[in-house]
């Protein structure tokens, strides 16, 4: 039996199998589009552990050897994820659709839901310590916890001045128990792009009891913010009409913001992080990576091996970092001067004369086993590139001599 015959046979039972998937939410890994986006990355101190989450699919992947090998961590939800954050090798949180927030205290072996509701989508989550954390959301939603996530308080910024149809909160920086910074932008991901910028910089100094609109920009959209100390901070984003990158900087604790000098080749920036007061990185469209070694006074381009959007960047020290991108996960061990593809190791390739389907083919374990027995030349791999001889639930890659196709093994 050829792979196309196996997939065709599975397609005939797609409706019934999809019903089974809906009954078992943890199996809903295969609602991803043909090019899944690895949207969030977490690399806590220690240069060993890393986690990546996918936005177009319910998937969390973990590496205990800094990107050499990866394992899938199941989560009981049908909500896809946008960001992940770890304080150390054990304590972490992830967030995503419909305000879903999950927490783990054992490195991801067990994820427990802490919140559902609030924003239509949580965009980023950050913690100051084991108790104090914030999550941003689209349409001016924010959430805060002072109990490690056991309880979340939701805020919706007042309209006006924060217009729910155009203000989508993206990045955040928690600098003290009661003080946090937030930025907003809209480059079309949550609706039509605007003819002018929707960049907002917002601050609270009393744990959300009141909000200060520090700056509003009509030209640029803002997507992330980072502070190296109480006075020095950076905001990144860009112009959604030409995708030119933009970075703003403050040296007085946010009272004044001015444009930072960045390479003119840089494209719309999506994420920024600092590993020390001097070493920082930002990433964005078309594989853009920029680096500073002087605390942000100057920035230089670093080569990346992909031309995709780089959504999230994080470093655990001045040498070891990772990026979540459309193409997968990138890693560096030399401060970003060399980036290599760490994950996934397998990519979908269509059969000759065909284009990849919008969704992976849904099939049961019995169907897959029957196909493998009928055609011994077929082989199955997980997303980390490891051959699997007895696949269970999840997304796998079915390889033949002609092509590699994604399949969702439901049950």
Mean pLDDT, 10 residues at a time, the chain of 411 residues? 70 41 29 60 96 82 92 82 96 95 96 92 96 94 96 93 88 97 79 64 96 93 96 95 95 96 97 98 97 98 93 98 92 97 77 71 86 90 78 80 82 62
Q: What is the C-alpha to C-alpha distance for residues 283 and 305, in angstroms, rounded to an integer? A: 13
Q: Do 324 and 312 contact (CB within 8 A), yes or no? A: yes
pLDDT at 1: 64
Q: Is residue 40 part of a domain?
A: yes
Quote the number of domains for the chain.
2
Helix orientation angle between 365-374 and 3-11, rounded to the nearest 10 degrees: 160
* Same domain, yes or no: 186 and 168: yes
Q: What are the Cα distances from residue 346, in Å, to 187, 339, 383?
A: 30, 18, 6
Given 328, 343, 358, the domain boundary residue is 343
The DSSP call for residue 94 is: E
pLDDT at 26: 29
Q: Is residue 283 part of a domain?
A: yes
Q: Do 149 and 94 contact (CB within 8 A), yes or no? A: no
CATH number at residue 85: 2.130.10.10
Residue 311 lies in domain: 35-343
C-alpha closest to that of 136 among 30, 40, 54, 261: 40
Q: Do 101 and 112 contact (CB within 8 A), yes or no? A: no
* Same domain, yes or no: 79 and 127: yes
* Same domain, yes or no: 55 and 119: yes
Phi and psi, residue 14, nearest 5°: -55, -45
Which helix (H) or strand (E) element contains residue 331?
strand 328-332
pTM metric for this prediction = 0.81
Q: Is residue 30 part of a domain?
A: no
Given 297, 328, 343, the domain boundary residue is 343
Q: What are the Cα distances from residue 392, in Å, to 27, 156, 369, 407?
A: 10, 41, 11, 12
Q: Is residue 65 part of a domain?
A: yes
Q: Is residue 360 part of a domain?
A: yes
Q: What is the C-alpha to C-alpha distance for residues 46 and 49, in angstroms, rounded to an integer? A: 7
Given 343, 360, 387, the domain boundary residue is 343
* Same domain, yes or no: 337 and 384: no
User: What pairs with residue 353 in β-bridges?
Assistant: none
* Same domain, yes or no: 233 and 360: no
pLDDT at 25: 28
* Same domain, yes or no: 399 and 287: no
pLDDT at 355: 73
Indicate the Cα dihedral angle 350, 80, 113, 103, nearest 10°: 80
Q: Is 23 helix (H, G, I), strand (E, B) or coil?
A: helix
* Same domain, yes or no: 137 and 200: yes
* Same domain, yes or no: 187 and 284: yes
* Same domain, yes or no: 320 and 398: no
Q: Is residue 116 part of a domain?
A: yes
* Same domain, yes or no: 141 and 267: yes
Q: What is the C-alpha to C-alpha distance for residues 29 and 59, in angstroms, rounded to an integer? A: 6
* Same domain, yes or no: 285 and 321: yes
Q: Do 359 and 32 contact (CB within 8 A), yes or no? A: yes
Q: What is the C-alpha to C-alpha distance for residues 321 and 312, in angstroms, rounded to an integer? A: 11
pLDDT at 14: 41
pLDDT at 57: 67
Q: What is the C-alpha to C-alpha distance for residues 62 and 299, in angstroms, rounded to an integer? A: 31
* Same domain, yes or no: 365 and 337: no
First to last CA, the chain: 21
């Amino acid at each position: 039996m050829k792979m196309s015959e196996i997939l065709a046979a599975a397609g005939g039972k797609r409706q019934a199998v999809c019903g089974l998937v809906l009954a078992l939410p943890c199996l809903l890994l295969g609602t991803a589009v043909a090019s899944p986006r690895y949207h969030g990355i977490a690399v806590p101190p220690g240069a060993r552990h890393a986690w990546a989450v996918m936005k177009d699919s319910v998937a969390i992947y973990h590496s205990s050897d800094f990107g050499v090998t990866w394992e899938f961590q199941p989560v009981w939800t049908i909500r896809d994820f946008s960001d992940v954050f770890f304080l150390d090798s054990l304590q972490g949180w992830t967030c995503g659709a419909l305000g879903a927030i999950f927490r783990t205290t054992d490195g991801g072996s067990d994820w427990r839901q802490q919140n559902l509701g609030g924003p239509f989508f949580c965009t980023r989550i950050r913690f100051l310590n084991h108790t104090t954390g914030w999550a941003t959301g689209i349409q001016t939603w924010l959430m805060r916890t002072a109990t490690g996530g056991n309880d979340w308080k939701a805020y919706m910024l007042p309209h006006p001045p924060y217009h729910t149809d155009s203000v989508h909160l993206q990045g955040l920086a928690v600098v003290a128990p009661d003080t946090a910074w937030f930025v907003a932008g809209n480059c079309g991901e949550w609706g039509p792009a605007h003819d002018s910028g929707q960049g907002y910089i917002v601050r609270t100094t009393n744990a959300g009891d009141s909000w200060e609109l520090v700056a509003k920009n009509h030209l640029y959209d803002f997507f992330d913010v980072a502070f190296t100390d109480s006075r020095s901070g950076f905001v990144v984003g860009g112009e959604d009409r030409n995708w030119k990158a933009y970075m703003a900087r403050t040296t007085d604790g946010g009272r004044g913001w001015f444009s930072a000098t960045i390479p003119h080749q840089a494209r719309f920036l999506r994420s920024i992080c600092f590993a020390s007061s001097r070493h920082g990185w930002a990433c964005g469209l078309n594989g853009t990576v920029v680096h500073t070694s002087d605390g942000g006074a100057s920035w230089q381009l670093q080569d990346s091996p992909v031309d995709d959007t780089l959504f999230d960047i994080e470093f655990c020290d001045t040498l070891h970092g990772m990026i979540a991108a459309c193409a997968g996960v990138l890693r560096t061990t030399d401060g970003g001067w060399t980036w290599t593809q760490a994950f996934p190791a397998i990519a979908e390739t269509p059969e000759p004369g065909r284009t990849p389907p919008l969704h992976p083919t849904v099939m049961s374990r019995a169907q897959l086993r029957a196909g493998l027995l009928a055609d011994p030349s077929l082989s199955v791999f997980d997303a980390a590139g490891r051959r699997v001889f007895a696949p269970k639930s999840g997304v796998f890659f079915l390889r033949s001599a002609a092509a590699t196709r994604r399949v969702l093994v439901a049950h």
